Amino acid sequence: MVSTGDFNVAHREIDLANPKQNVKNAGFTPEERAWMDEFLSDGWVDTFRLFMKEDGYYTWWTYRFNARAKNIGWRIDYFIVSEDLAPRVKRSWILSEVYGSDHAPIGLELEV
């Protein structure tokens, strides 16, 4: 099974540019992050983190302060797959060069 969309939660500190300043802000509260931990521990896998362990990769930027150009963003959009489907994930990526929204599209490639 695949679930995708804007979850509005930056799960880990590496999922946003300024974690210390945002710990009490919606989308990065301890309660929201704990919910994401629980959700993933119930048999789900964050496909992007199968391949990319580093920070600096985001899917959303505020329109203010030229944040996108400075890459001061949040990774809040996900492709989540069931654990049984995870071995078939070939690639999961962010199309950060695609504009038209405050979010970047994300991609997922599965083995047939």
Active-site choice (6, 37, 84, 102): 6
Residues in contact with 102: Cβ distance below 8 Å, sequence separation at least 6, in sequence order: 60, 61, 62, 63, 68
Q: Which amino acid is at 25?
A: N
Q: Mark whether 6 is an active-site residue.
A: yes
What string of DSSP letters covers 53-112? -SS---SB--SGGGHHHHT--B--EEEEEETTTGGGEEEEEE-TT--SSSB--EEEEE--
Give me the amino acid identity at 90: K
Kindly list the catalytic residues. Answer: 6
